[in-house]
Amino acid sequence: MKNIKMKLKRKELHISQTELAKKAGVTRQTIGLIESGEFNPSLKLCVAICKTLNVTLDEIFWEE
């Protein structure tokens, strides 16, 4: 399933996939594939993305 919350949060901060990727230490493709739901990211990467977006895990990666 697509990760809408992550994409929205990124847009909200006006940062590109490329920028987020660089700050999180991965490639642009990886970010794109996570947002489109084709990748099941590792915990470390989730945390790195959260810190870049100033949120916690629950805010963008948790679903009831």
| Interface ranges with a copy of itself (CB under 8 A) | 40-44, 46-47, 56-58, 61-63
Q: Report the Cα 19 to chain-centroid distance in Å.
A: 11
Q: Which residues bind DNA (CB under 7 A)?
A: 11, 16-19, 25-30, 32-36, 38-42, 44-45
When CB distances are held under 5 to 8 angstroms depending on the partner's kind, the choice from DNA, a copy of itself, none that residue 62 binds is a copy of itself
The nearest distance, CB 44 to a copy of itself, in angstroms, is 5
Buried b / exposed e across 17-40, counting CB within 10 Å, b at 16+? beebbeebebeeebbeebbeeebe
